[in-house]
Structure 1
């Protein structure tokens, strides 16, 4: 038996919504579905403002910019991570310090920081 790779799981009207997005001419950021999602999170969780990104990589890069990460700044992160986690800060000249994970969990072991 072959296990399909990245087979979309459709539950209803997804194809229709994709068509709507393409027809609107706005398929990457700040389109009608982005705005609907942002409004949903703001109302459901009483957030003052939400901002969706296209990826976690983009979110981390924005975070580094907003934190004003500069050359020589030290950023501590788990040793067990994806390359984009470090890359967002390396691009701004930060010194990355990897910290061991907890024995039973992949997050940073606070005792080892």
Structure 2
């Protein structure tokens, strides 16, 4: 996810770019980042452009869809599929801003309206 986050933020990057971005947050070995990115390319998560000496990578998956997939998996594994329990735990850990609370209310209102139709 860290690698994808860097690629989503930058659009495209070399292994060195990704390594340096991640290393600012925590210690990481260059060859570890390289290997992970090679595996990700093999799995279709990133696209590698080999036309230059330094290969340039970009995300092959959309951020929003990837987030949905991970959250769905997390919900199934830890909360028996309950999105509500997942949301409650998340909100207990980190308070939501007023803007986030407004978005949550809009989503709930939309869900209620869909359910009543």
Judge same fold: TM > 0.5, yes or no.
Answer: no
Higher helix share: 2
Higher strand share: 1
Q: Which has the higher contact order (CA 8 A, sep 6+)?
A: 2
